[in-house]
């Protein structure tokens, strides 16, 4: 009988070891920052399964040329740290276990390489974002015939626009679970899809005991130099820190942003709902890629605005009725009793999200939320895109007239929208579209929450906006249940 000591492994390994016991789980997706033990934990599990259960694995990298300096090094490390290397014969691109199980390493030079994998219990795709979506689909279709087969995949979430996010992560609904254990870092998570077939794990270097040391201090290693370098990125290059350290989705290119003064490191934080304040529900009349709504609150000093929550409903739930249900659920969970204001795009006379002819979006939403006695607060016409953008950028950079703005860090889709919305040659929101490969529907990927935020600031700080245009000083505004409608 083979015995392994707990001190050989990081917490992620034990979570993966529990996941493989669930035969209904087909796909295990692991992403996160650098030095978070993603690859090593997966290959340790694969190696253990080969030795103990005789399960064979085929592991892929996109490029064959770098396998020896990436995957092979990881497998060698796993075998050595588990002290099971003598049980394996090492070849150029494979390992043969003494019980006959194999671990094969391959490059994927064409999607044809994804075929012929039926005899393997596990498939591992290292750096999944380097593969193409069609290649990944081929793996899913080709793996069959063995009970409990699984696809493992790992990657660093560099590009917000990667197909891994848009086609694999975003098109599934995941909820947190502790069924398989928990990770030490509070920013890490383990989630499972609604169909119970996919597990999504995010991890950081704080989950790696060979970077931060084990809690008991008896094993692992604390690398003070590396920790200092990672933490220094927080102020030197926040985007790099977010992607490489926190393991969050980010951007690979900068320049031409619409919100030029938005800084995620400065303008996001913990901003929970405040039961003493009104809620402003601001809509953008849009259905693809989602129907959005931002939940805003303004602090008692009338100058501190916060987005505390956001909803983005995708097909088939991108309707006013579904949106109403979600808003009601959230407001009731908060026990909200203060005022509710509804606003947004003033040109809401299209049929994009309507269920009845002749009723605009705001009237429909007020009908859905009638129990909360919502008040309509919509401008007669939309503000100038360029001027309202300049107004918002001035608030972000200089807290114009004492106004400041921040977003709760849980609103990840909103933050991504702010970071990725570009401006066109006329200084307006870039309306370039992309096409969904599955539905063939064209849509504008970014700019929806940017528009929502512009509407909110002009509607809520109307006097300040007028004064901004004139270059003067605004009179104080009134909010809450005495909110003035004179400007609408």
> Distances in Å between the alpha carbon of 99 and those of 22, 50, 54, 160, 424?
24, 8, 6, 43, 62
Q: Return the closest-CA partner of residue 202 out of 236, 177, 224, 237.
A: 177
pLDDT of residue 251: 67
pLDDT of residue 437: 67
pTM of the model: 0.66
Terminal Cα distance for the chain, rounded: 77
DSSP notation for 381-450: SPPPHHHHHHHHHHHHHH-GGG-EEEEETT-HHHHHHHHH-BB-TTSSB----EE-TTT--EE--S-HHH
Q: What is the pLDDT along the chain (488 residues), one digit of tens a residue?
A: 678 999 999 999 999 999 999 999 999 999 999 999 999 999 999 999 999 999 999 999 988 888 999 999 999 999 999 999 999 999 999 999 999 999 999 988 645 566 668 889 999 999 999 998 888 988 888 888 788 899 999 998 877 778 898 889 988 899 999 999 999 999 899 999 999 999 999 999 999 999 999 999 999 999 999 999 998 888 787 878 888 888 888 765 667 889 999 988 889 999 999 999 999 999 998 888 999 999 999 986 768 999 999 999 988 899 999 999 999 999 999 999 999 999 998 886 444 444 444 468 899 999 999 999 999 998 888 899 989 999 999 999 999 999 999 999 899 899 989 988 999 888 889 888 888 766 788 899 899 999 999 999 999 999 999 999 887 544 444 344 434 444 44
HSE on the CB side for 271, CA within 13 Å?
A: 24
Residue 315: other Cβ atoms inside 10 A: 14
Adjacent-strand bridge partners of 442? 435
Burial of 301 (0-12, 13-18, 19+ CB in 10 A): exposed
Range 273-277 contact pairs with CB under 8 angstroms and sequence separation of 24 or more? 273/297, 273/308, 273/309, 273/334, 273/336, 274/299, 274/308, 275/334, 275/335, 275/336, 275/337, 275/338, 276/300, 276/338, 277/338, 277/480
pLDDT at residue 488, rounded to an integer? 42
Kindly state the tokens that stand for 90. 């090492």
CB 104 within 8 Å of CB 94: yes
pLDDT (0 to 100) of residue 65: 86
What does the DSSP 8-state code read for residue 168? Answer: I
Bridge partners for 102 per DSSP: 96
Structure tokens at 486: 């004179």
Structure tokens at 195: 């169909």
- pLDDT attached to residue 477: 42
- Residues with Cβ within 8 Å of residue 108, at least 6 apart in sequence: 60, 61, 62, 114, 131, 135
């Amino acid at each position: 009988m083979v015995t392994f000591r707990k001190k050989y492994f990081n917490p992620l390994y034990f979570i993966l070891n529990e996941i493989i016991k669930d035969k209904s789980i087909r796909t295990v997706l692991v992403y996160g920052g650098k030095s978070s033990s993603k690859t090593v934990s997966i290959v340790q599990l694969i190696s253990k399964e080969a030795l103990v259960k005789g399960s064979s694995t085929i592991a892929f990298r996109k490029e064959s040329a770098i396998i020896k300096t990436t995957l092979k090094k990881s497998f060698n490390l796993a075998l050595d740290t588990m002290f099971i290397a003598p049980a394996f014969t090492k070849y150029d691109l494979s390992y043969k276990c003494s019980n006959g199980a194999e671990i094969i390493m391959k490059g994927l030079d064409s999607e044809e390489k994804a075929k012929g994998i039926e005899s393997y219990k596990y498939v591992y795709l290292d750096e999944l974002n380097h593969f193409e979506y069609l290649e990944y689909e081929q793996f899913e279709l080709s793996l069959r015939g063995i009970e409990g087969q699984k696809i493992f995949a790992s990657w660093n979430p560099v590009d917000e626009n990667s197909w891994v996010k848009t086609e694999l992560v975003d098109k599934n609904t995941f909820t947190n679970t502790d069924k398989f254990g928990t990770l030490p870092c509070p920013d890490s998570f383990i989630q499972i899809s609604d169909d119970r077939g996919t597990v999504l794990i995010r991890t950081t270097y704080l989950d790696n005991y060979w970077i931060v040391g084990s809690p008991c201090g008896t094993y692992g290693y604390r690398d003070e130099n590396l920790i200092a370098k990672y933490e220094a990125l927080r102020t030197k290059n926040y985007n790099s820190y977010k992607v490489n350290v926190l393991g969050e989705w980010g951007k690979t290119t900068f320049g031409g942003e619409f919100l030029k003064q938005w800084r995620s490191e400065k303008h996001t934080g913990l901003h929970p709902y405040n039961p003493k304040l009104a809620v402003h529900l601001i809509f953008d009349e849009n259905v693809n890629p989602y129907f959005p709504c931002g939940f805003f609150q303004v602090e008692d000093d009338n100058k501190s605005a916060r987005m505390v929550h956001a909803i983005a409903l995708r097909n088939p739930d991108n309707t006013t009725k579904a949106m109403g249900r979600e808003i009601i659920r959230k407001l009731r969970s908060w026990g909200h009793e203060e005022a509710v204001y509804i606003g947004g795009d003033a040109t809401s006379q299209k049929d994009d999200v309507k269920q009845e002819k002749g009723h605009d979006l705001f009237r429909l939403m007020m009908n859905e939320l009638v129990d909360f006695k919502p008040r309509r607060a919509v401008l007669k016409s939309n503000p100038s895109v360029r001027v309202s953008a300049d107004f918002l950028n001035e608030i972000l950079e200089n807290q114009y007239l004492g106004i400041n703005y921040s977003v709760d860090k849980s609103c990840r889709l909103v933050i991504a929208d702010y970071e990725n919305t570009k401006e066109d040659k006329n200084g307006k929101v870039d309306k370039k579209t992309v096409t969904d490969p599955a539905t063939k529907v064209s849509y504008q990927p970014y700019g929806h929450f940017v528009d929502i935020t512009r509407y909110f600031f002009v509607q809520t700080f109307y006097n300040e906006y007028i004064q901004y245009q004139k270059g003067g000083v605004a009179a104080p505004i009134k909010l809450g249940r005495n909110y003035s409608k004179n400007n609408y």
